Amino acid sequence: KMDKSQSQEKKLWNAAALVGSAGILGIAAGSFKLLITIRASVGMKVSIALVTLTA
């Protein structure tokens, strides 16, 4: 009886760890995408500013 509850608890912990790491990965991917979009928009603004300055 004790072993069964322990193995179930272990499964729960493993599932929680998987969900947690997946969440962390998702957050990291999201912030990375955000960084890329911010950098892209800043780059666009800089190139537009350069074009208007040189024109």
What pLDDT shows up at residue 53? Answer: 86
Give me the pLDDT at residue 54, please: 84
**Residue 55 DSSP SS3:** coil
CA–centroid distance for 52 within its chain: 36
pLDDT digits (tens, 9 = 90+) for 1-55: 667 888 999 999 999 999 999 999 999 999 999 999 999 999 999 999 989 988 7
What pLDDT is recorded for position 22?
A: 93
pLDDT of 5 reads: 82
- CA separation for the pair 39, 49 (Å, rounded): 15
Question: How many whole angstroms separate alpha carbon 44 and alpha carbon 46?
Answer: 5
Residue 1: per-residue pLDDT: 62
